[in-house]
Amino acid sequence: MAHRERSCAQTTSVPVERRRDIRVVVNLPGRYVLPRRRAVDGKPPAFACRLVNASPHGLMVAASVVGAVGEPVAAQFEEFGRLDGVILRRLYGGFAMSIEVTGERLAQLEAKLVWLDRLQRKAVANERRHDRMVPRTPQSIVVLADGTTLPCRIIDMSASGAAVTAALTPPLGMPLAVGAVVGRVVRRFAGGFAVEFVETQEIATLERLLIRSPVRARAMSAMPPPEDGGEIVIIDA
């Protein structure tokens, strides 16, 4: 009898350990705030970001504004909701942060990560009709009607449009081009805006048309070097 009880305990402990150790490579758009900072209106400014990988204990985030090590950060993702923590490491193009979740919230996060892991291994069918993708190199340019170009970061893209973050927040309906693809602004959100393409694009050539790199170096040079020796964020590991 004691032997049976030990066997059961060993069997049930494996999934729990796997959940707590799992780290999933993801490409999910989101936004974050650094609560200690304030904009002109007195509220913390929101920035667009992209979740690179996640575990039950921490996240790696691609972002243009990087806080100090130990600074509180609150990140919001559609798949996970709001996740609070502190910045653990500064990276080129982003940061690593802890996650402060316990109890039922932690169990829900672990279950979601397991599901995403299975989805990536094609064990779960993804029923979304129009999948959004994240480009391998998200830095590009926005071209305005008068020919002005601005550096931007593409949060995600699909055959019909793209979500973009840039220093400019254009008005709804404004025509512009993201890289070489012409469209118009159809939605604005905290930290960016959505562009609907004039023509539906072929997925096979979409990234090549969207990505334009002449201002990439200027956009990245404004970021101070990381404090931990220069780690590189690899988006598609």
- pLDDT at 51 > cutoff 50: yes
Q: What is the pTM of this model?
A: 0.47
What is the architecture of the domain spanning 139-220? Answer: Beta Barrel (2.40)
Per the prediction, the chain carries an average pLDDT of: 76
Confidence at residue 137, expressed as pLDDT on a 0 to 100 scale:
82
- One-letter amino acid of 193: F
Q: Where in the chain is the domain with CATH 2.40.10.220?
A: 2-120
Confidence at residue 120, expressed as pLDDT on a 0 to 100 scale:
61
Contact call for residues 223 and 79 (beta carbons, < 8 A): no
Per CATH, is 2-120 categorized as 2.30.110.10? Answer: no
- pLDDT at 47 > cutoff 80: yes
- Say what angle helices 2-21 and 103-120 make with each other, to 10 degrees: 80
Read off the pLDDT band of 88 (50, 70, 90).
very high
Confidence at residue 101, expressed as pLDDT on a 0 to 100 scale:
85
